[in-house]
Amino acid sequence: MKLTIKSVISLTILISFLCTSIPASAQGNQPFHFGFKKSKGGKLPSIAEEGFMGILQKQNAIFLGNTGQKELYLTFDNGYENGYTAKILDDLKELKVPAIFFVTGHFVKDQPELVKRMVAEGHLVGNHSWSHPDMSQVSKIQIKDELEKVRVEVEKLTGQQEMRFVRAPRGIFSDRMLGVCNELGYINVFWSIAYRDWEPKQQKGWNYAYVNVMEQLHPGAVLLLHSVSKDNAEALKKIIVDARLQGYEFKSLNQMEMKQYR
């Protein structure tokens, strides 16, 4: 089939029309997996090359604290209990370190006493969704339902009336999803220190966890640790003690003053 100049122009106009007709809502649904260039030698990590820095800035999501201060924010993801959260809480209590635990519906229902203990000992409980779905792929109503179930159940257990912080399951997010969480009164929390620690059958010893965390320390860091990790539970006390020896102070997310994106 031979294309005439007229038909080529018509086809070009049609393609242009179709491309510009994609609604903004569809563009805002593009999913991203949170990732970053790791810190080395105390230098700041970066998300500049990941393609979503503008979205996090627009939605006021947390990735870093005050990068001009040697402060650390300790966060745990609690999807389910693997026998180590009590030890983690013991060490935090002994060393007087605040943390936030992002819990799922399964954890809340399965471990009510641990959730009560978190709040009673001065920690924050954050929202990690009820059923741990990819929230970039569900509706606004479903997002609200996922988060509200967790908030209500935690309040019933602990009396914690305010739940300010949310963490996207598996670190998958979209502009729309972050915006919906904002509308519901949440601050989206990501991280600037992490390693592959969430596989119980792939534990490599406490020193492996210790080295992975300590090599990434930097001012204003938000640490992500999974409570199912035996390595994390065994390394936590030494991480805290040695970080303090380097001049770092552990703070609660409620104390975060600013963030800088790089």
226 is known as an active-site residue: yes
Q: Which domain holds residue 116?
A: 32-255
Residue 202 inside a domain? The answer is yes
Residue 20 inside a domain? The answer is no
Residue 16 inside a domain? The answer is no
List the CATH number of the domain containing 158: 3.20.20.370
- Grade residue 23 by pLDDT with cuts at 50, 70 and 90: very low
83 contacts: CB under 8 Å, gap ≥ 6: none
Q: Which of 211, 221, 146 is nearest to 189 (CA)?
A: 221
Residue 27 inside a domain? The answer is no
Spatial distance between the Cα atoms of 165 and 19, rounded to a whole number of angstroms: 36
Distance in angstroms between the alpha carbons of the first and the last residue of the chain: 52
Write down the mean pLDDT value for the chain. Answer: 90
Q: Is the pLDDT reported for residue 258 higher than 90? A: no
Q: Number of folded domains in the chain?
A: 1
Q: Please pick, among 77, 175, 197, 231, the residue that the annotation labels catalytic.
A: 77
- Confidence at residue 17, expressed as pLDDT on a 0 to 100 scale: 35
Distances in Å between the alpha carbon of 56 and those of 51, 182, 194? Answer: 10, 12, 18
Q: Please pick, among 123, 132, 218, 226, the residue that the annotation labels catalytic.
A: 226
Residue 130 inside a domain? The answer is yes
HSE, CB side, 13 Å, CA atoms: give it for residue 160. Answer: 24
Residue 18 inside a domain? The answer is no
242 is known as an active-site residue: no
> 119-140, pLDDT tens digit by residue?
999 999 999 999 999 999 999 9
Residue 24 inside a domain? The answer is no
- Grade residue 247 by pLDDT with cuts at 50, 70 and 90: very high
Residue 195 inside a domain? The answer is yes
Provide the 8-state DSSP code for 203. Answer: -
- Confidence at residue 138, expressed as pLDDT on a 0 to 100 scale: 95
> 186-198, pLDDT tens digit by residue?
999 999 999 999 9
Q: Which of 142, 128, 133, 119 is nearest to 224 (CA)?
A: 128
